[in-house]
């Protein structure tokens, strides 16, 4: 199976498996796992932040971060097409009592500064929930893996400072953003107070996400992590794979971007394919079916029967995510299968 469902379907590399087998461990709930400490220190170094915490998932990372930033009854300003708004089960509101205030997401994944300003309630008006934190997603998934520019991030930072608000970045694939911009990741996250990134997306680790920020902030994150059932024992087994991910899988990410662009190039002119967005910036390709007699579900089932798996994400869009287990030959084969499937479907409907 050529599996494009997500970059979370990857298997750990041989080096990761060996590191996991040999990992030195301790009880992380007591801060005694040396491999977890090493991973957290590495994350601090890469992100240019004071402290870091290993948590089980991106969802827990965002949840614990936003609970640490935003008091109950305050608003989380975020994009209406953000992963946090759509796919994290409303945990910030349910668990934290914070109000999600969605702002229109632009096609490039950004939130217009004026729209952010309009979302910031007057704190002297007791009728309104006051603003607590601004959230940016980078790269932005539902916009097609688009990357926010450094100039844009700087402008949001300046706006947040005007209102004494923190910025949290949902940077699940932040290293893809850095690869796209050709800068160290610290150049991106210098504009935010906290960032979460996944070890299991793009980087192929089997587990975990990191939250980075100030010492005081991470102290709160670790308290919420424990409260929410995320306390870990001999977590060095998993942390060791995260260390390998950060030291051996980051530099190869431009290959995934090249292959995503190659897949887009191969399928964009196939009859029935509508590539949207046309701009491929990271490791994702989104497309829809245009003038096709097949439903998305039927199309994906036929693809799967022929050895290619993709998924639906967003309204009427198919997503293909490239990762280290996808080769150039896989791309060529995939494009040919898509061409054959749609050609047969269109031919059938025209014949009927």
Tell me the per-residue pLDDT of 125-172, one tens digit each, with 9 for 90 and over.
999 999 999 999 999 999 999 999 999 999 999 999 999 999 999 999
pLDDT of residue 294: 83
Q: Find the distance separating the first CA and the last CA of the chain, reported in whole Å.
A: 32
CA 336 to chain centre: 29
Q: Which CATH number does the domain housing residue 114 bear?
A: 3.40.640.10
Q: How far apart are CA 257 and CA 236, in angstroms?
A: 31
The answer to whether residue 316 scores a pLDDT higher than 90 is no
Question: Same domain, yes or no, for 265 and 223?
Answer: no
pLDDT of residue 347: 66
Question: Same domain, yes or no, for 31 and 134?
Answer: yes
Half-sphere exposure of 265 (CA within 13 A, CB side): 9
Question: Same domain, yes or no, for 22 and 126?
Answer: yes
Question: Same domain, yes or no, for 330 and 264?
Answer: yes
Give the residue from 321, 42, 44 showing the smallest Cα distance to 201.
321
Average pLDDT over residues 301-330: 95
Question: Same domain, yes or no, for 159 and 293?
Answer: no
CA-to-CA separations, 86 to 164, 172, 313, in angstroms, rounded: 27, 15, 11
- Please, are residues 41 and 249 in contact by the beta-carbon 8 Å criterion? no
How many structural domains are present in the chain?
A: 2
In a domain, 4, yes or no: no
Helix axes 253-267, 174-181, angle to 10 degrees: 80
Question: Same domain, yes or no, for 152 and 102?
Answer: yes
Confidence category of residue 296, pLDDT binned at 50, 70, 90: very high
Query: Which structural domain range is residue 136 located in?
Result: 10-248
The pLDDT tens digits of the residues spanning 62-112 come to 999 999 999 999 999 999 999 999 999 999 999 999 999 999 999 999 999
In a domain, 3, yes or no: no
Give the residue from 342, 161, 176 showing the smallest Cα distance to 259.
176
Q: Which CATH number does the domain housing residue 257 bear?
A: 3.90.1150.10
Q: What percent of the chain has pLDDT over 90?
A: 92
pLDDT of residue 349: 60
Q: How far apart are CA 275 and CA 292, in angstroms?
A: 14
The pLDDT tens digits of the residues spanning 46-62 come to 999 999 999 999 999 99
Confidence category of residue 345, pLDDT binned at 50, 70, 90: confident
- Please, are residues 142 and 104 in contact by the beta-carbon 8 Å criterion? no
Of the candidates 248, 264, 291, which is a domain's last residue? 248
Question: Same domain, yes or no, for 195 and 257?
Answer: no
- Please, are residues 69 and 133 in contact by the beta-carbon 8 Å criterion? yes
Question: Same domain, yes or no, for 221 and 97?
Answer: yes
Question: Same domain, yes or no, for 155 and 182?
Answer: yes
Question: Same domain, yes or no, for 241 and 265?
Answer: no
In a domain, 203, yes or no: yes
Residues 6 or more apart from 344 whose CB is under 8 A from it?
none
Give the residue from 202, 228, 351, 217 showing the smallest Cα distance to 284.
202
pLDDT of residue 293: 76
At residue 109, the 3 state secondary structure works out as: coil
C-alpha gyration radius of the chain:
21
The answer to whether residue 350 scores a pLDDT higher than 60 is no
Q: What percent of the chain has pLDDT over 70?
A: 98
Question: Same domain, yes or no, for 258 and 113?
Answer: no
In a domain, 214, yes or no: yes
pLDDT of residue 292: 73
Report angle CA 39, 49, 121 to the nearest 5 degrees: 125
Question: Same domain, yes or no, for 163 and 257?
Answer: no
């Amino acid at each position: 199976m050529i599996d494009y469902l997500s970059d979370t379907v990857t298997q750990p590399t041989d080096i990761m498996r060996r590191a996991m087998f040999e990992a030195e461990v301790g009880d992380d709930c007591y801060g005694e796992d040396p491999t977890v400490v090493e991973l957290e220190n590495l994350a601090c170094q890469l992100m240019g932040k004071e402290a870091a915490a290993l948590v089980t998932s991106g969802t827990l990372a965002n949840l614990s971060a936003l609970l640490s930033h935003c008091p109950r009854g305050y608003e989380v300003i975020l994009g209406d097409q953000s992963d946090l708004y759509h796919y994290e089960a409303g945990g910030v509101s349910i668990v934290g009592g914070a109000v999600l205030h969605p702002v229109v997401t632009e096609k490039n994944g950004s939130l217009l500064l004026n729209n952010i300003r309009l979302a910031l309630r007057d704190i002297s008006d007791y009728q309104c929930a006051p603003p607590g934190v601004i959230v940016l997603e980078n790269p932005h998934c539902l916009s097609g893996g688009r990357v926010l520019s450094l100039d844009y991030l700087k402008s949001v930072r300046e706006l947040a400072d005007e209102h004494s608000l923190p910025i949290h970045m949902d940077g699940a694939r932040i290293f893809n953003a850095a690869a796209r911009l050709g800068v160290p990741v610290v150049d991106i996250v210098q504009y935010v107070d906290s960032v979460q990134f996944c070890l299991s997306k793009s980087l192929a680790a089997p587990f975990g996400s990191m939250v980075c920020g100030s010492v005081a902030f991470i102290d709160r994150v670790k308290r919420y992590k424990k409260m929410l059932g995320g306390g870990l024992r001999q977590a060095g087994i998993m942390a060791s794979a995260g260390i390998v991910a950060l030291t051996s899988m980051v530099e190869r990410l431009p290959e995934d971007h090249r292959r995503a662009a190659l897949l887009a190039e191969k399928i964009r002119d196939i009859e029935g394919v509508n590539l949207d967005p046309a701009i491929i910036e990271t490791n994702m390709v989104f497309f829809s079916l245009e003038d096709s007699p097949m439903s998305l579900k039927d199309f994906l089932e036929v693809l799967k029967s022929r050895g290619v798996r993709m998924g639906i994400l967003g309204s009427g869009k198919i997503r293909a995510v490239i990762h280290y287990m996808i080769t150039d030959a896989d791309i060529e084969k995939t494009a040919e299968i898509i061409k054959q499937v749609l050609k047969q479907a269109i031919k059938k409907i025209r014949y009927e």
